[in-house]
Amino acid sequence: PSCRRYVAGGRCKSTARLEGKVVLITGANTGIGKATARDLAQRGKVIIACRDIAKGEAAASEIRAETGNQQVIVKKLDLADTKSIREFAEKFLAEEKELHVLINNAGIMLCPYSKTADGFEMHLGVNHLGHFLLTFLLLERLKQSAPARIVNVSSLAHHGGRIRFHDLHGEKSYNRGLAYCHSKLANVLFTRELARRLQGKFQRQVGFTANVLHPGSVYSELVRHSLVMTWLWKIFSFFLKTPCEGAQTSIYCAVAEELDSVTGQYFSDCQPAYVSPRGRDDETAKKLWSVSCELLGIQWD
């Protein structure tokens, strides 16, 4: 029915191959990430980075069977622990000589208040800071492999977010819905500032880009922390995208030839989309960058 077609949204029509290329996707053991991995495994080598190795292996063997591509590899990464992120990056750099596409896909949503191993509020810690650190640690390898792409999965929810520098870790006040929105706004601002920094002569010559996207409202495990949302998701599942439909914009940003030199953009349904005014605030983006570096104890100039 046409209503269902409308819900499904844009599709990635690119048939670009990724032979000899390496794609790394975080949180690709379920949902959108898994669907993204399945599609990209038909094109080239895919590395799935996730916290739950057993789930990751199950997803990978399923994808290997479906695509006939044996180069679907699982590596352990816990984005809620900077020690795990550093260990992952160290092993990755030792084992993989190239990295062409980094898809920062993993995310958590509507968690009751909790903190990461490093004391960051969980949404901000996993959705933003974890990926910020991972990208920092893998940046040189991406540069050496260029043309390369960084793809960050955000959400329409960024419209409801703000960066509360006075209470980044939600210790003064916490609302789990808003905490998710704040972290998704951070994804948009991070991408904006990253693209600006990459935009020197180097980026224009070889095509090193960073883009961010809204996958759509997808029927996935993301709402598992909220009983109400889980029920609503079940009731309205007809009006939600399947993980495969939700993965289309991630795939598009990863492979579409027409995006070779497009950077710093926000996409939805495989086309540029409207970014909230807060998501276009360069001052906030710069400040978030330096605060993130400070929290993670890194220097990223």
Q: Which residue ranges make up each domain of the chain?
A: 1-294
Q: How confident is the model at residue 199 (pLDDT cuts 50, 70, 90)?
A: confident
The amino acid occupying position 253 is C
Per-residue pLDDT at 2 = 61
Per-residue pLDDT at 230 = 64
For the four alpha carbons of 204, 209, 210 and 214, in that order, the dihedral sign comes to positive
- pLDDT tens, residue by residue, 107-161: 998 889 999 999 999 999 999 999 999 999 999 999 999 999 999 999 999 999 9
Q: What is the average pLDDT score of the chain?
A: 91
Q: How confident is the model at residue 235 (pLDDT cuts 50, 70, 90)?
A: low
Q: Is residue 4 over pLDDT 60?
A: no
148 φ/ψ angles, rounded to the nearest 5 degrees: -140, 160
Q: Is residue 29 over pLDDT 60?
A: yes
Q: Is residue 28 over pLDDT 60?
A: yes
User: Residues 216, 241: contact at Cβ < 8 Å?
Assistant: yes
Q: Is residue 1 over pLDDT 60?
A: no
Per-residue pLDDT at 75 = 98
What predicted TM-score, i.e. pTM, was given to this entire model?
Answer: 0.93
User: Residue 165 CB: number of other CB atoms within 10 A?
Assistant: 10
- pLDDT tens, residue by residue, 40-84: 999 999 999 999 999 999 999 999 999 999 999 999 999 999 999
174 annotated active-site = no
> The domain 1-294: what is its CATH number?
3.40.50.720
Q: Is residue 208 over pLDDT 80?
A: yes
Q: How confident is the model at residue 233 (pLDDT cuts 50, 70, 90)?
A: low
Per-residue pLDDT at 202 = 61
Per-residue pLDDT at 47 = 98
Least confident of 17-31, 91-105, 174-188, 209-223: 209-223
Beta bridge partners of 123: none
Per-residue pLDDT at 297 = 98
- pLDDT tens, residue by residue, 257-289: 999 999 999 999 999 999 999 999 999 999 999
Residue 80's alpha-carbon distances to 33, 50, 253, in angstroms, are 18, 11, 26
Percent of the chain with pLDDT over 90: 80
Per-residue pLDDT at 243 = 83
Cα 224 to its chain centre, rounded Å, is: 19
Pick the catalytic residue: 180, 219, 252, 266? 180
For the four alpha carbons of 78, 82, 86 and 89, in that order, the dihedral sign comes to positive
State the Cα torsion 36-41-43-45 to the nearest 10°. Answer: 120
Q: How confident is the model at residue 27 (pLDDT cuts 50, 70, 90)?
A: very high
Sheet with 148-153: strands ordered across: 72-76, 44-50, 18-26, 101-104, 148-153, 208-214, 266-268, 271-272
Q: Which of 70, 23, 79 is nearest to 48 (CA)?
A: 23
- Region 9-23: mean pLDDT is 91
Per-residue pLDDT at 9 = 76
Q: Is residue 222 over pLDDT 80?
A: no
Per-residue pLDDT at 228 = 65
